[in-house]
Amino acid sequence: MASVVRKLSVVGIAGNIILSAFKLIAGIIGSSGAMISDAIHSLSDVLATAIAAIGVVLSRKTADKEHPYGHERFECIASLALGLILAVTGAGIGWSGIKTIMAGDYASLAIPTLLPLIAAIVSIVTKEAMFRYTMHYAKQMNSAAFVADAWHHRSDALSSIGSLAGILGARLGAPVMEPIACVVIAACIIKVAVDILRDALKKMLDTSCGTDVELELVDFIEKQEGVRRLDELRTRMFGNQIYVDVEIAADGSIPLVEAHEIAERVHDGIEEKFPAVKHVMVHVNPYE
């Protein structure tokens, strides 16, 4: 786990620093406001990857006296930070583009050279590759923070597509396409930010794990030997983990030790069948 986090961090941070520098130089030399905005977005990815790595490492710490339920919510906090960084970045890029459009002095806008166009193509290919690479390992680790980081890479690829369109339009004689591209880039970034923030908040607010998973749990529990009835089932997300509280009914005339064995069977079975479940609490009622 630690080696994967380190690998993703190095690839994300080093890749974004190199790409940001390249795009910034291309934007300045090539007179492209869209490419400069794109470079700023890539630079924010450096901080995003660092936050994701810290969040994952902290969330994997074992439970202790002060945190008996573990530290999984550190990932949610990291995802919230990533979402806020994306939202602020998108808002800044969008406002810059809107101000240029509202000024209306399109004739004075500089026409970008070929260099920013090449930089946009390089960025699209590189960031899409980083998205796929990060998402692959994020799913293996079941890491919300690195999923958010992967989407940060994808949003950068989308912003580079916007840059490409804007630069191309400006070179074809429509300078206003550059600031329009900045606004489109901002909209894509903010959309991703909202999705990340919504998912992180859902996992911090003890939201249930969803109808589909709960129906699977109900079906599994009711089939366990000795369970006469399922009285109540409650689930909640704790970071990327699931906590389950269940009340079952068993024959009221059986010895306590047998009722305990039924509860243990339900408990162990759930944790074995549903890997995302971290903790199960089983209460046994007498069946009437």
**Percent of the chain scored above 90 by pLDDT?**
24
Task: Determine the average pLDDT of the residues in 112-127.
Answer: 89
**How would CATH label the architecture of 211-287?**
2-Layer Sandwich (3.30)
| Architecture label for domain 2-204 | Up-down Bundle (1.20)
Supply 280's token pair.
């199960």
Phi and psi at residue 244, to the nearest 5°: -125, 130
Tokens of 208: 């249930």
Cβ-contact 266, 246 below 8 angstroms: yes
Q: Supply the pLDDT for residue 232.
A: 93
Tokens found for residue 48: 């995003």
pLDDT in tens, 159-211: 788 788 888 888 888 888 878 877 887 887 788 788 888 888 877 777 788 88
Average pLDDT, the chain: 83
Spatial separation of the C-alpha atoms in residues 96 and 93, rounded to whole Å: 5
Choose between 264 and 198: higher pLDDT: 264
Q: What is the pLDDT of residue 53?
A: 75
Residue 14 in tokens: 């080093």
pLDDT higher than threshold 90 for residue 38: no
Confidence of residue 70 (pLDDT cuts 50, 70, 90): low
Residue 221 reports pLDDT greater than 90: yes
* pLDDT > 70? residue 1: no
- Our measurement of the distance from residue 154's CA atom to the centroid of its chain's CA atoms, rounded to an integer in Å, reads 11
3-state secondary structure the chain: CHHHHHHHHHHHHHHHHHHHHHHHHHHHHCCCHHHHHHHHHHHHHHHHHHHHHHHHHHHCCCCCCCCCCCCCHHHHHHHHHHHHHHHHHHHHHHHHHHHHHHHCCHHHCCCCCHHHHHHHHHHHHHHHHHHHHHHHHHHHHCCHHHHHHHHHHHHHHHHHHHHHHHHHHHHCCCCCHHHHHHHHHHHHHHHHHHHHHHHHHHHHCCCCCCHHHHHHHHHHHHCCCCCCEEEEEEEEEECCEEEEEEEEEEECCCCHHHHHHHHHHHHHHHHHHCCCEEEEEEEEEEEC
Q: In this model, does residue 239 exceed pLDDT 70?
A: no
Give me the mean pLDDT over the 23-36 stretch. Answer: 85
Instruction: Compute the C-alpha angle 199/202/208, nearest 5°.
Output: 125
pLDDT of residue 142: 76
Q: What is the mean pLDDT of residues 223-247?
A: 88
Q: How high is the pLDDT of residue 112?
A: 84
- pLDDT given at position 69: 65
Do 35 and 112 touch, CB atoms closer than 8 A?
yes
Q: Tokens 């101000």 label which residue?
A: 99
> What residue segments make up the domains of the chain, in order of their start?
2-204, 211-287
